Amino acid sequence: MIYLASKSPRRAELLKKINVEFLLLEAEIEENLVLEGSPAFNAEKLAKEKCSQGIKNAIATNLENYPVLAADTIVVMGNKIYGKPKSSDHAFAMLSELSGQVHEVITGVSVGAWDSKKADIATISVSTFVEFGDISAIELKEYSETDEPLDKAGAYAIQGYAEKFIKGIKGSYSNVVGLPLFEALKLLKQFQL
């Protein structure tokens, strides 16, 4: 059993697929990209903050001592980080820039546990490269006006309607969905799971 410190239904679905039992745990943080260091550093920093907040919440509410899993995904192209769009117009602008290009999806993953003295958190990041085909303005407008892009880094869901935009992928598919399963399980095993 673990705690999942995430509101993402996609992360929950991925864990269910591989039969990891979990309970959802509240771990609200301010998701501001500090833009210091590398993009991977930023994704790891946010994942670690979520994990740390999840541990604090578990301790404060006297929950059983299960490991806490948290993650944060960002999309990067060139020197620009694409977070979650604020509106359908913002989603349209993001997707217009990604159209016909290769971008990188980076997920920071943290797993933590605690005892009476301290918390122990392990963090990694995973990168996947995604190539979009050329997307017409009509397709971009139709997609950006759906609800799908609004809570997704880079304004798209690879497992949804946007899958038809993907020309190629190099790396972990589950990473692009929001949780690189192979690497997440490797981290969990460090905490005897």
Residues contacting 151, CB < 8 A, separation 6+: 84
Active-site residue flag, 72: yes
Burial 151-183 (b: 16+ CB within 10 A, else e): ebbbbbbbbeebeebeeebeebebbbbbbbbeb
- Catalytically annotated residue among 72, 120, 134, 151: 72
Q: Helices marked H in 84-171 — which ranges? A: 88-98, 137-144
Instruction: Give the residue numbers marked as catalytic.
Output: 72
